[in-house]
A = this chain, B = another copy of it.
Amino acid sequence: MENLRQSIMESVINQFNQKGMKFTMDDISKELHISKKTIYKEFDDKDELFFATVDYGFTAIKQKEAEVLKDDSLDIVEKLTRLIVCLPDNYRNIDFRMAYQLKDKYPLVYSKLASRIESDWEETEKLLKQAMDEGKLKKMPIPVVKLTIEGAIEKFLGSEELSKTNVSYEEALNGMIDIIINGLRV
């Protein structure tokens, strides 16, 4: 079976989002109705499993990103808008308020996670800079834009204010991106 690895990693993501780091190899084997032995045939140890899972979790996002980038029917500002919409997928698939738990026990996995998210910003940053240089967007230090977007996403995910006021996450996200892209228009 070739997608055995894959379903194990799916289970890891699932368990992680349910219980944070407090899930066991037994939890995974139970969820998948497979034996631990089978897991250990695919992955040397928990470390390798986590490491592989981080990579796996980003493949879909990277792909979506690549599609946007190569679609030449899109204006640079439109590309940017779509790219920014992609970014929060990271924060949704991997609940970041739980990821800090990795820092202590799996520092390598954590830094891989952090650097992949960072690298997801790279294309966006490049495009932002380009749009500013071309005069399509107002000049503004990139970190200001980046931190504003990141901060908003984390607030949208973490605060109860949205659900209390019946504003959906999607609505908030699109609103925020709309404000920022418009705010940067010359």
Chain A contact residues: over half helix, strand or loop, or mixed? helix
A7 at the interface (CB under 8 A from B): no
B175 touches A144 (CB 8 A): yes
Number of interface residues of A (CB under 8 A): 34
With A and B bound together, what is the CA distance between A175 and B184 in angstroms? Answer: 10
Residues of chain A from 93 to 144 with CB closer than 8 A to chain B in the complex: 138, 140-144
How far, in Å, is A147 (CB) from chain B's closest CB?
A: 4
A69 at the interface (CB under 8 A from B): no
A183 touches B172 (CB 8 A): no
A161 touches B147 (CB 8 A): yes
How far, in Å, is A22 (CB) from chain B's closest CB?
A: 21
B155 touches A147 (CB 8 A): yes
Chain A residues near B (Cβ < 8 Å): 138, 140-148, 150-156, 159, 161-162, 165, 167, 171-172, 175-176, 178-185
